[in-house]
Structure formats: structure tokens, C-alpha cells
Amino acid sequence: MRIVVAFFLVVVGIALFVSLQCTAKATSQSQASVAASPYLIERVANNDWLLIDVRSPEEFADGHIPGAVNMPHENINDYLSELEGHKDKPIIIYCRSGRRAKLAMKVLEDLDFSEVMHLEGDMLGWSAAGMTVDRM
């Protein structure tokens, strides 16, 4: 009986370890983020990073982060040919509050884009921090 209990505990321990490893990997990939800062604008201006605003064209025109390109989240698949050159480069995604950005991030991550990150605070956080906003 002791052997059965010991075997059961070892199996449960291994299953727990594997589960935690998978969770840690998924969490680290889906929670990569970048802080709102002048450094972000500099990296985008130097074409080191691609900054994507996934809000509607109307929201984008009302105000967006300098250097951002507008690719509405519901149409992100329409922009894949433009994004192909950024498959292994940093892509920063934001929307108003985070929901649409996370949807777009999931699409790109599923298509093996390796460095997809979320802008902390999205547009609301950017504006609250008093950072520069371009208007059309």
C-alpha cells in the first residue's frame, strides 16, 4: 500500500511540475509589455520597433502615439503581408484600454510573430502620463 501511495505522490508531483512549467511559459509570452516613455518613441522613430494602434480609424485620427500605424484589430489579418518583415522584430500593440490589443496580439502570436508586446496602460495610460499625442 505504501508503494502505491508513494507512486501516486510522485505522479502528482510530476504532473504539477509540468503544469507549472507550461503556465509559466504561457504567462511570460502573453504578458510581455513595454512602458509608456520617450524611449518608445525613439525606438519607433529609428524603425527598431513597430508600433501598432489597433483602434478604429476614427479613434486613431482623434489622437495616437507618434509613429504608430493604424491596423484595426478586427482587420489585423488584412495587414499580414505588411507585417511579414517584422516576424522576428519587436511589435508593440495598443488600443484604448487593452481588450482589442490583446485580441490582436493573440492573432499575431498564433502566426508565430516572436516579439509581440503590449503597451502598458494603452492609450489611456499614455495620455494620463502626459506623453505626446499626434492628431490628424
Using alpha carbons, select from 39, 70, 76 the residue that is nearest to residue 53. 70
Is 22 assigned a catalytic role?
A: no
Burial 22-37 (b: 16+ CB within 10 A, else e): eeeeeeeeeeeebebe
Which residue spans within 42-123 are E strands per DSSP? 50-53, 69-70, 91-94, 116-119
Catalytic residue among 95, 104, 105, 116: 95
Using alpha carbons, select from 116, 33, 47, 105 the residue that is nearest to residue 76. 105
Active site (catalytic) residues: 95
